[in-house]
Structure 1
Amino acid sequence: MSITKTSSERMPTMNAPVPPDDVDGLALPPAWTAPARRARGSRRLVLGLSAAGLAALGTLAVMGFRAPSPDSLYETVAVTRQDIESTVAATGKIQPYASVDVGAQVTGQLKHLRVAVGDKVTAGRVVAEIDAEVQSAKVEGIEADLARLTAELAEQEAGLVFAERNVERHLTLSQTSAVSKLAFETTTRDRDILIARIDASKARIRQMQADLRAQKTALRFARITAPMGGTVVSVDAKEGQTLNANYDTPLLLQIADLDTMTVWTDVSEADVVKLREGMPLWFTTLGRPDRKWHATLRQIQPAPRRPDNKKAETKTTPQSGNVVLYTALFDVPNADGSLRAGMTAQVFFVTAAAQNALVVPVASLNDKGEVRVLREDGTIAVRKVEIGTRTRFVVGITSGVTDGERVITGLKSAGPPAKLRVES
C-alpha cells in the first residue's frame, strides 16, 4: 500500500523551522509571549495619565468650590455720620438792592460834574450843575410881568371904587329925576366892565405865578442833587456836554446802595415747584467758590421771565423750544463790599436737611429700599432701611444700619460666586 503525501506534507511551511529527523531528544521552546519590559511601561503610562487627570480634576474642583475673599468680590463703603442736605441748584445775577438813575430835567450845558465812579454820596448832595442862565432870565422876565399885572390890577381896583361911588350917586339922583335913566345905566355898565377886567387880571396873575414857580423849579433842577444815599456806580455825561431835556431825560449817572445786594435767580419750571418763600439757601461766586453766603428766599415772581429780558406777560409763557424760567429773589448783606453788581452766583435752595445723619451711597440701595451689609464673618445681611434726606449721591438712613457697618455698593470683577451665607 503506497502512501501519497500532499503538497503540504512534502514542502515545509515558509519560515517554519524544519524539525530534524530525530526529535525524541530535542526540547521545544515555549509558545510566544509579549516581552515583560514593554508591559510594565504601558502600565506606567496609564497610571501617569490617570494621575494627571485626577490632579486636573482636583484643581478644577478646588477652583470651583473654594470661596474667594469677600473683599476681593465686593465694593463696600462704611456707614458714616455727616450733615446732608437736598438742594435745588440754579444760577443768578447779583444786583444792588436799590438803585436810581440820575438825569437832567432842564436843558443846558453841564457846567460842573462833582462826583466820579466809586464816590459815596448822601441824599441831597449836589452831584452836578447845569448852566442856568436861560432859566434865570426866564424867572426874571416872569417876575417883571407879574409886577406889571399886579400894578394893572391895583389900577383897576381903584377905578372900581370910583365906579361904584358913581353908580351910588347916579342912583340917588335918578330917584329925584336929576339925571336921566341912560346916564345911570351907563355908570352901572362901566362898573361891571371894571369888575370883569379885575377878574381877568387876577386870572393872568395866577397863571403868571404858576409859570414863575415852574421856572424857579427848573432853576433849582439846574443844581442836581442825589435822590438817595449810596455809591456812584456809573457816570454817563461829561462836563461841557449840552443836555437836551425837551424830548427825553438825559442820563447823567447812577447811584446804588451796595450795602445790601439782591440776587436775581433763574429757576426752571421743573424746580420752581420745590421752592417756597422763606426757605433757607446758600450760594457761592465764581471768584470765591470756597465761601458760602447764606440767605432766605424773599420772593418768587408769579410769571415766567421772557428770553429777551422784557417784562413778563401773565397771559402767555415763552415760545416752545425755549426754557421756561422763573425769577426768585433774595437779599444778602454786603457790609464788606465783597459782592459786586453783575457777579454770577451759583445758588442752592435747601429743600431738606439733616444733621449728624447715618449716610450710605445711593448705589447701595435697591428698588425695595434694602441694603446689603457685609459682616465681619463674611456673611451678607439684607436689611430694610428707613430713608430720610436724600441727595443725588448719598441717602440719610433713620433705621436699619448702624455707624461703621459696611454696605455693598457693587462687584469688583466678574468671577465665580462666593459661597457666602445670606441672612435676612
Structure 2
Amino acid sequence: MKKLFSFLAIVIALTGFIIFTQTRTKPDRFQTSEVKRQDIKSTVSASGTLSGATTVNLHFQTSGKLFSLNVKAGDSVKKGQFLAGLDALDEISDLNKTQNTLRDKEAALRKVYDDIHLFQYGNGGFGNVGTGNETETQRATRTAAEVAKDNAFDEVKKAQKALGDKSLISPVSGIVLKSDFVPGQNVSSSDTIIQLADKDRVLFEAEIDEADISRVSLGQRVDVNLDAYGGRIFEGEVFGIIPQTRSTQTGAIIVPVKITLLNPPADFISGLTGQASIIIEEAKNALTLPIDAVGENSTVLVQTPRGSENEKVITGVKSDTEIEIKTGLNEGEKVLFSP
C-alpha cells in the first residue's frame, strides 16, 4: 500500500509540474493595442546615390601649354569663375595691336566727321553727315573711314575671342570632380581639363523595384536619408522616371527614378548613398492600429466591458506596420488581435 501511495504521489507531482511549466511558458493568445492618433504614410522605399543634375566636362577651344590651373578635385566653384588658362602671350599681344588699330581708325573717322562739319558749318554742320548735302568726295571719304573703323572693331572681337579661348570659365556653380592636369603640360581641345558636378540642382537617383514603379509619379514628395548624415531627412520631389529597366548585381530588375533635393546638404559630395521614401499617400493625425489588428473583411475584435465584440471598420492609408482607421473605432478603444 505504501508503494501505491508513493507512486500516486509521484504521478501527481509530475502532472502538476507539467501543468505549471506549460502555464508559465505558454504565451497569451491575444495582444492588446489601443487606437491612437498619429501621422501615417504609405511609401515606396529604395536605395540610391547623390549626384549633380548634370556633369560638365570642360575643354579648351584650342590646343596649347597649360599656364594655370586654379582648382582641384573637391573644390566648390561659382558660375563665371576663372578656372584655368593656357599660355596666351601671343593672343594678348594681338589684342593690344588690334585695339590700337581700332583707336587709330576711330580717330581718323572723327577727323572726317570734323572736316565735313567745318565744310558745312553754317549750313547744318554735323546734320549733313550722311545726307544729300554731302559732296561725292565727302561721302566716299566718310564711307571709307567708317568701313576701316568697322573692320578694326571686328579684328578686336576676333582677338578677344582668341584670348577667351585660352581660358576656362565655370558655366555653373558646382563641385570639381576631376582636375588631373598640371601647369606646363601641353593639352588639346579634346582633353577634359576639369569635370564639374552642377550644384544648382542636386539629384538623388533611387533604384525602384519594377513591382513598385506603377505607384510612382512625377511631383510626389520624397524623404531622403543620406547614410553620411545619420537620421537627418532631406526633402525632395520626384523629378524624372527613366523609361528603361536595369539589373542590379543581385539580379533584381529596377527602374531609375531621379529625385530633386529641395534642401540639399551645403557640403555636397557626389556619390553619397542613402535611402529614399517616396510618399504615395499620407494622413495627418489619423486614428491608427497595427496592421495585424485588422482581420479579414476589415473587422476588428474590440475589448468592451461586456467582453470582446467584432466591429466593422473602414480603413485608409497603410504603412509597413500601421493602418489608418477612418470609421468604426474611437481614439483610446482597445483591440485584441493575434500577431
The alignment partner of 1:270 has SS state of coil
Distance in 2 between residues matched to 1:289 and 1:397, nearest whole Å: 32
Alignment CA distance shift 1:120-1:94 (3 Å):
closer
Partner residue in 1 for 2:132: none
Partner residue in 2 for 1:399: 327
Say yes or no: does 1:385 pair with 2:313: yes
Distance in 2 between residues matched to 1:213 and 1:338, nearest whole Å: 40
Alignment CA distance shift 1:235-1:402 (3 Å):
same
Partner residue in 1 for 2:232: 291
Partner residue in 2 for 1:304: 245
Say yes or no: does 1:237 pair with 2:193: no
Alignment CA distance shift 1:136-1:283 (3 Å):
closer
Distance in 2 between residues matched to 1:403 and 1:225, nearest whole Å: 62
Distance in 1 between residues matched to 2:209 and 2:238, nearest whole Å: 16
1:113 corresponds, among 52, 69, 80, to 69
Check the 8 A contact 1:361/1:409 in 2, yes or no: no
Check the 8 A contact 2:234/2:264 in 1, yes or no: no
Alignment CA distance shift 1:322-1:135 (3 Å):
farther
Compute the TM-score of the two structures, normalised by the length of structure 2.
0.66
1:124 Cα deviation (Å)? 3.9
Alignment CA distance shift 1:351-1:229 (3 Å):
closer
Check the 8 A contact 2:172/2:200 in 1, yes or no: no
Partner residue in 1 for 2:218: 277
Distance in 2 between residues matched to 1:279 and 1:229, nearest whole Å: 27
What amino acid is aligned across from residue 126 of structure 1 in structure 2? F
What amino acid is aligned across from residue 276 of structure 1 in structure 2? S
What amino acid is aligned across from residue 182 of structure 2 in structure 1? K
The alignment partner of 1:273 has SS state of helix
Distance in 1 between residues matched to 2:323 and 2:314, nearest whole Å: 10
Check the 8 A contact 2:207/2:256 in 1, yes or no: yes
Partner residue in 2 for 1:227: 171
What amino acid is aligned across from residue 407 of structure 1 in structure 2? V
Distance in 2 between residues matched to 1:338 and 1:111, nearest whole Å: 30
Say yes or no: does 1:357 pair with 2:301: no
Partner residue in 2 for 1:84: 40
Compute the TM-score of the two structures, normalised by the length of structure 1.
0.54
Paired positions, count: 266
Distance in 2 between residues matched to 1:131 and 1:244, nearest whole Å: 13
Partner residue in 1 for 2:272: 343
1:214 Cα deviation (Å)? 8.2
Partner residue in 2 for 1:128: 84
Alignment CA distance shift 1:391-1:241 (3 Å):
same
2:208 corresponds, among 267, 277, 290, to 267
Distance in 1 between residues matched to 2:285 and 2:81, nearest whole Å: 54
1:72 Cα deviation (Å)? 5.3
Alignment CA distance shift 1:338-1:372 (3 Å):
farther
The alignment partner of 2:47 has SS state of strand
What amino acid is aligned across from residue 398 of structure 1 in structure 2? K
Partner residue in 2 for 1:323: 252
1:322 Cα deviation (Å)? 4.0
Structure 1 segment 250-265 matched on structure 2, within 5 A: 250-265=191-206
Distance in 2 between residues matched to 1:134 and 1:324, nearest whole Å: 57
Check the 8 A contact 1:105/1:218 in 2, yes or no: no
The alignment partner of 1:368 has SS state of helix
1:276 Cα deviation (Å)? 1.3
Alignment CA distance shift 1:405-1:96 (3 Å):
same
- Output the aligned Cα RMSD: 3.8
Structure 1 segment 64-103 matched on structure 2, within 5 A: 73-103=29-59
Distance in 1 between residues matched to 2:170 and 2:245, nearest whole Å: 34
Identity within the alignment, %: 24
